[in-house]
């Protein structure tokens, strides 16, 4: 049969392990990119180009829910909630009194529906800081506060529950940011 060579059983793991690692690493990197990263970057660029420090909008799925944001160098603070006075908030939105809408959402919203995100960067909601001692993004929903510092044990939860809470917060944040982007573009 000629010079046919067969791989020894030890050669198979030597070949497969690097191949499996090479295919697994990109999926981990993709999973770590926040859903909110691209929309936040777009919003930050739009706000800077329009010289806006605040923006507000109506959420697309609920006529009584609004979102407001304040932009500071290196930080975006966003709140969204149902309000007890949607007509009043809508009037302020029509007048483009975005800072007032933001303040109303902090003070006169239905507490159990209120989301509050502090995005340090702003670069999207991150599941943990870039460095161990670095600042953490946070998400509050009603009276429950969640710092995304990677310390799920301190929050008395499993890593899976922590990552689920993070994914839900990031998805909700991306949706709120998209409503703000649409408002900036509509406002011209």
Q: Considering the chain, what percentage of its residues have pLDDT values greater than 90?
A: 71
Residue 106 in any domain: the answer is: yes
Instruction: Determine contact, residues 124/36, Cβ cutoff 8 Å.
Output: yes
Residue 8 in any domain: the answer is: no
pTM attached to this predicted model: 0.82
Residue with tokens 């070949």: 15
pLDDT > 90? residue 147 = yes
What's the number of CA atoms in the CB half-sphere (13 Å) around residue 139?
A: 23
Residue 157 in any domain: the answer is: yes
Residue 3's pLDDT is 53
- Number of compact structural domains in the chain: 1
CA dihedral for 176, 95, 87, 109, sign (positive or negative): positive
CB burial readout 136-162, b (16+ within 10 A) else e: bbbbbbeeeebbbbbebeeeeeeeeeb
Residue 12 in any domain: the answer is: no
Query: What pLDDT, in 10s, does the model give residues 70-116?
Result: 999 999 999 999 998 999 999 999 999 999 999 999 988 999 999 99
Name the average pLDDT for the chain: 85
Query: What pLDDT, in 10s, does the model give residues 42-61?
Result: 999 999 999 999 999 999 99
Angle between the 159-187 and 37-50 helix axes, to the nearest 10 degrees? 30
- How open is the CA angle 173-177-29, to the nearest 5 degrees? 60
Domain containing residue 123:
52-187
Query: What pLDDT, in 10s, does the model give residues 103-131?
Result: 999 988 999 999 999 999 899 999 999 88
User: Which structure tokens are listed for 176?
Assistant: 């709120």
In 3D space, the residue among 29, 71, 37, 31 whose CA is nearest the CA of residue 54 turns out to be: 71
Instruction: Determine contact, residues 118/138, Cβ cutoff 8 Å.
Output: yes
Q: Considering the chain, what percentage of its residues have pLDDT values greater than 70?
A: 82
């Amino acid at each position: 049969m000629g010079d046919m060579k067969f791989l020894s059983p030890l050669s198979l793991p030597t070949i497969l392990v690097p191949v499996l690692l090479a295919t697994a690493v990109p999926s981990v990197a993709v999973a770590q990119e926040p859903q909110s990263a691209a929309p936040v970057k777009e919003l930050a660029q739009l706000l800077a180009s329009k010289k806006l420090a605040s923006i507000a909008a109506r959420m697309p799925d609920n006529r009584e829910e609004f979102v407001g944001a304040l932009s500071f160098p290196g930080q975006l603070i966003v709140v969204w909630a149902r309000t007890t006075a949607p007509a009043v908030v809508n009037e302020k939105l029509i007048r483009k009194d975005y800072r007032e809408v933001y303040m109303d959402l902090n003070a006169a919203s239905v507490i159990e529906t209120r989301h509050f995100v502090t995005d340090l960067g702003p670069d999207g909601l991150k599941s943990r800081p870039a460095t161990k001692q670095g600042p953490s993004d946070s998400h509050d929903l009603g009276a429950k506060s969640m710092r995304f510092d990677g310390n799920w044990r301190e929050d008395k939860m499993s890593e899976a529950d922590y990552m689920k809470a993070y994914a839900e917060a990031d998805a909700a944040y991306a949706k709120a940011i998209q409503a703000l982007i649409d408002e900036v573009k509509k406002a011209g």
